[in-house]
Each structure stands twice: as structure tokens, then as C-alpha cells.
Structure 1
Amino acid sequence: MISSILLVALGFGFFALIITAALSPLETLSWWAGWTEAELDDLKPIKKRDEDSGRQYVVYLSGVASLSGNFLLPRERAFIRRLRKSAPDTVIISDIFPYSPQGLPLLESPRLFDQIWRRVQKLKLDGRQSILSALINLRNIFQVMVSADHRYGPIFNQGAASVIEDALIKAGYPIKGGPPITIIGYSGGAQVAVGATSFLTARFSAPVRVISLGGVIASDPGLQYVSKLHHIIGDGDNIQKFGAIMFPERWSIVPHSNWNIAKHDERIKKYILPDMVHAGINGYFGRPTRNGISNADRLVKLVSNILET
């Protein structure tokens, strides 16, 4: 009986995965076609705060386990809190959902698998993992692939840039003559950050730098506009390594790709952190100490130093 239920659950999960993969570009295309214009209007800020050009503005984009910008994992929330404490004059925006060209969280839009996402959220809040939890990661990974795709990527990334733009203006970022913008992208969030950079640079006429935390990044055209990509890599992060292999244009045999040109121009700087994997207690936000310091401590210190430059 139990094995039958398990097989049905696995079959349903596989079916949901196939449907989600097939529909991944459709959300981007529907936004481009204007089918979701009313939803986008709801996202626009009602009133912009007073401008303060002396402040630094940082946007944080979560990893592929994200359900919404307001649902960060506890370790991510702790990282943001500590970063705010170490840089009190910095405005940090962390409520953006990067895996939708509209910025719509999975729980706040009429999606096909809405009940599944709500069930997964409850499991995560209870600190439990399940097969369903993997659907969130896979669904968002497909959106990362859309962002990196040469056909759909420019459309997706333009939508993501619009969401980031609205959030920056709402936080008080000056429309003209603003300071440099920093986007911190964890995992797949780094790809969305790079993809949005060209549009943000054009809209604000301000330099945009990206801090990648184990970022899975393609050789995106946005790299032509990134003023600096600080690529932080854990030496045990096999997911990030797989990402570097998965995109052939990042290989050294393609010297004229966007990635390799940025490397040649010294606009990509790598930081390799020891004893660090992609996620979990030994991941970038891990709290267990080793030699008196945790991964979270090292990460906050490194990112704070980058923000000061």
C-alpha cells in the first residue's frame, strides 16, 4: 500500500516536473505579450521616498530554493541582518523574487501548482524536507535556464530589471545621478543579476556590480555591462562547478565569449573560500565554526569588504 502511494507521488512529481519545464518560457512570453499587465501595475511603487544620493544601494537575490522575496531561508535572513549591521549606511533590498519576469512570488499568483507551492512552504516552515521540496528548486532552475537562454533571456531579464528598478526607486534610489548599484546573487540569483545589468545600466546611467555567492552564471550579454563581477566560490561547491561546465561559452576554448572577454578585461574577480559547499550547514551561510570562525562569518566579512571598495 505504502509503495503504491509512493509510486503515485513520484509519478505525479515527474508529471509536474515535465509540465513545469515545458511551461517555463511561457511565463516570460505572457509577460512580454502584456497578458499580465494588471499584475505588473500592482507591483509599481505608490510613492518614492526622499532621495539620498550619499547612500549605497544593495539588492539581494535569493537562491533557487526561494518561494518569494519575503520567504528567505533562516540562514539568508541572518546574513542580511549581519550585513546591515556591518554596513549601516547601506540600503539593502531583499524582498525581490528573481525567478519570475514579473517578480510575482509563487504563492501570490494564479499558477497551475499553487496548492503544491503552499504545501511546500508549510513543510519548509516546519523544517522538513520532502520530494515536493525539490520541485521548488527545479521550477526555479528552469527559470534560471530561461534567463540564460539566448532566445528568451533578453525578455526575462528585462522583466527582472524592471522589478529591481521599481524596488530601488521605492527604496529612495535617485532616478538620475545615483550611486553605483550592487546586486548580490546567490546561486541562480547571480545569473538573473547579471542578465538584468544591461537594462539597469541603461535606465539609471549608473555602474552596476554583481557579487556572486556560488553563482551559476552563463556567458550572458549582461557581462558586457557589469562594472565588476565578484565571484565568490566555495572550494567544495560542486553545483557552481557544474554550472561552469554546463555553459560551453565559459570554456577557455571560446576566447571571444562575453565571459572570457570580461575575464580578460579583469572585470571578473574570483574568491575561493575553503571548506565550503553550495548549501546546508556547510554552505555559504553555514553557522558551525571551524578554527573559531564559521562560513557565515567569513562571508559577511568578505562581502562587507567588497562593499567598502
Structure 2
Amino acid sequence: MISSLLFTVFLVGAFALMLTAALAPIETLSWWAGWTEDEIEHPAAPPHRDGAERRYVVYLSGVASLSGRFLLPRETVFIRKLRSELPDATIISDVFPYSPSGAPLLETPRLFGQLWRRVQFFKLSERRTFLSVLTNLRNIYQVMVSADRRYGPIFNQGAAKVIEDALADAGYVRGSGAPVAIIGYSGGAQVAIGAAAFLRARIGAPIDVIGLGGVVASDPGLKYVRTYHHIMGDGDNIQRFGAVLFPDRWKAAAYSDWNAAKREGRIVKHVMPDMIHAGVKGYFGRPLVNGVSNGERTAKKIASLLSV
């Protein structure tokens, strides 16, 4: 009886995995065709304030994300700490990076709408279930689409438009020259770099990317990033997958975008001691170690990079 149940769960999981993989590029192509362009409405931008003087920071969540409006509790605490460290910056944290239209999984008519809402319930209560794995897999496939040389330019153009709209909603003035920094956690770093080329062309301002345990490819967007700060925990094995999975990051690919950016000094690595990719010992960990949490250490590190 138990073996039969386990086999059924395995079959359902395998089917969901294959279906998610097959649908990953289709969502990008449907956005490009204009079938999903009306999924999200953006409010009118507020009156111009001090857009030319302020620094704008956009946070892109990791592959566990369901919606930019519903961050995990530890991410919410991290964003609060980051705002306290950068009181003069406008920090935007409601962007969903794993859809070219920016449509959160929870807010559009999708085949698995009820499933995503159930997953959100477990995530906000910080409970780990098999359903959470499906979210991670779905978003990982979107990261792979972003890194793909065929579909990536389409996906990344959509991501750049979503980020630009979020900046405009926060008061950013196009052409003001105000610098923009994008913080990408895990797969969010790949989306940030992929979108950089299109975003820079749209706003005409320098763009810096900060990857927190970033799993990134040798993306052409690196040519348009002023500096990519690669923050990595010394115990974070997940971020190392990028260096293995993407051959253009290997040393043998001397003329790849990644290695060219390294030679030019535009990729800077920062090792964080006693940190892993996620969980209580991750970049947003809340337990105190010598009176300071990992989330606070990460916020201070980012603030120091952005204050230079």
C-alpha cells in the first residue's frame, strides 16, 4: 500500500516536472506575441520628487517566490533592515522576476492557480512541503529561459520592462541619470543581469547588480552592468552550480562575457563567512550570532557596496 502510494506520488511529481519544463519557454513566447500584455495594471507614477538625486534599489527574490507582494518573512525583515541602512535610497521589493510580464503566480488565471495559493499558505507560515518544490522548479526553469541564447533576449526584455515600470511607479524619472542597483537573490541575479542591457537602454543610467548567492550564466547583459558584486557564503554550494552548469563561465572560455567582465574588474566577489544559501544560516537568517543576524550582516554589506 505504502509503496503504491509512493509510486503514485513519484509519477505525479515527474509529470509536473516535465509539464513545467515544457511550459517554461511557452510563457515567454506568449508574452512576446502579446497574449498576456494586459495581465497586470500599473498605477500612474507619482509626481516627480527628487528622482535625480536619489539612488534606486530593486530587489528580486529567489526561486521560491510566488509574488513580489508576498515575500518570505525572513526577506521582509531583510528589506526592513536594508531600508534602515540606506535611508536615502528608494528600495523596491514588489517585482516578480520569473515572468516576462511580471504577472505573479497568484494573481492571474493560471492552470495551477489553486495550487499556487496553497503553496503560498505554506511558505508564509514557513512550512516546507513537496508543493514548495514545484514552485522552485517552475521558477528555476524560468531562470534557464533567461540564460538561454534563443529565448533569453525575449524573456529579459520583458523583465526589463517590468523593472522599469516598478521604478516609474516609485517616482524614477527616465533620463534623470539616477543610478539603479538591482539585488538578485539566487536565480534573481541571472534575471537582473539578463535585463540589464534592455533596462540601461530604456533609462539611460548606470546599472549595478548585486547577486546574493547568484546562480548566473555568462550573459551578454554583463556588458551593460557597471559592476556585478557576487556575494557568496563560504558554505553556499548552490551558487557554485552556475560556475559548473554554464560552460561559458569556465576558464577555458577566455573570451566569454563572464571572463571578459572579470578581466575588466567589473565582477567583484565578496565571501561571507559562516553563510549558506538559504535557511536559518542563509543570507537572510534571523538567529543572532554574537549579537548580529545574518540578515543584518547582509544588509550592512550591501549598504557598504552601494555607499561607495
Question: Into which bin does the TM-score normalised by the smaller protein fall?
Answer: over 0.9
Unaligned regions of 5+ residues in structure 2, if any? none
Amino acid at match of 1:229: Y
Unaligned regions of 5+ residues in structure 1, if any? none
Amino acid at match of 2:204: S
Spell out the pairing of 1:253-272 with structure 2 (5 A cutoff): 253-272=252-271
Q: What's the TM-score, normalizing by structure 1?
A: 0.96
Task: Report the Cα offset of residue 49 of structure 1.
Answer: 3.1
Q: For 1:115 and 1:12, locate their aligned partners in 2 and report how far apart those are by CA, in whole Å.
A: 17
Amino acid at match of 1:34: G
Contact between 1:45 and 1:167, CA under 8 Å: does it hold in 2? no
Greater alpha carbon shift after TM alignment, 143-152 vs 124-133: 124-133
Contact between 1:13 and 1:132, CA under 8 Å: does it hold in 2? no
Amino acid at match of 1:21: A
Partner of 1:209, secondary structure, is strand
Identical aligned residues as a percent: 64
What does the per-residue CA deviation read over 1:273-298, in whole Å, with 9 as the maximum and x for residues that have no partner?
Answer: 11111000011111223344332222
Task: Report the Cα offset of residue 46 of structure 1.
Answer: 2.2
Amino acid at match of 2:294: N
Partner of 1:100, secondary structure, is coil
Q: For 1:188 and 1:85, locate their aligned partners in 2 and report how far apart those are by CA, in whole Å.
A: 25
Amino acid at match of 1:264: R
Task: Report the Cα offset of residue 7 of structure 1.
Answer: 3.1
Equivalent of 1:50 in 48, 51, 57: 48
Spell out the pairing of 1:61-72 with structure 2 (5 A cutoff): 61-72=60-71
1:35 matched residue in structure 2:
35
Q: For 1:51 and 1:45, locate their aligned partners in 2 and report how far apart those are by CA, in whole Å.
A: 17
Task: Report the Cα offset of residue 301 of structure 1.
Answer: 1.2
2:212 matched residue in structure 1:
213
Task: Report the Cα offset of residue 45 of structure 1.
Answer: 3.3
Structure 1 stretches of 4+ moved >4 Å: none
Task: Report the Cα offset of residue 3 of structure 1.
Answer: 4.5
Q: For 1:254 and 1:165, locate their aligned partners in 2 and report how far apart those are by CA, in whole Å.
A: 33
Task: Report the Cα offset of residue 2 of structure 1.
Answer: 4.8
Partner of 2:38, secondary structure, is helix
- Is 1:302 aligned to 2:298, yes or no? no
Amino acid at match of 1:280: G
Let me know the Cα RMSD of the aligned residues: 1.3
Contact between 1:281 and 1:287, CA under 8 Å: does it hold in 2? yes
Amino acid at match of 1:13: G
Q: For 2:272 and 2:281, locate their aligned partners in 1 and report how far apart those are by CA, in whole Å.
A: 12
What does the per-residue CA deviation read over 1:67-126, in whole Å, with 9 as the maximum and x for residues that have no partner?
Answer: 000111111111100110111111000000000000001011122222211121122233
- Is 1:7 aligned to 2:7, yes or no? yes
Contact between 1:49 and 1:170, CA under 8 Å: does it hold in 2? no
- Is 1:81 aligned to 2:80, yes or no? yes
Q: What's the TM-score, normalizing by structure 2?
A: 0.96
- Is 1:110 aligned to 2:141, yes or no? no
Contact between 2:72 and 2:124, CA under 8 Å: does it hold in 1? no
Q: For 2:192 and 2:122, locate their aligned partners in 1 and report how far apart those are by CA, in whole Å.
A: 28
Amino acid at match of 1:50: H
Task: Report the Cα offset of residue 4 of structure 1.
Answer: 3.5
Task: Report the Cα offset of residue 140 of structure 1.
Answer: 0.2
Q: For 1:6 and 1:46, locate their aligned partners in 2 and report how far apart those are by CA, in whole Å.
A: 51
Partner of 2:172, secondary structure, is coil
Q: For 1:164 and 1:54, locate their aligned partners in 2 and report how far apart those are by CA, in whole Å.
A: 19
Partner of 1:57, secondary structure, is strand
Partner of 2:232, secondary structure, is strand
Amino acid at match of 2:48: D
2:19 matched residue in structure 1:
19
2:283 matched residue in structure 1:
284
Task: Report the Cα offset of residue 173 of structure 1.
Answer: 0.5
Partner of 1:38, secondary structure, is coil
Q: For 1:77 and 1:300, locate their aligned partners in 2 and report how far apart those are by CA, in whole Å.
A: 12
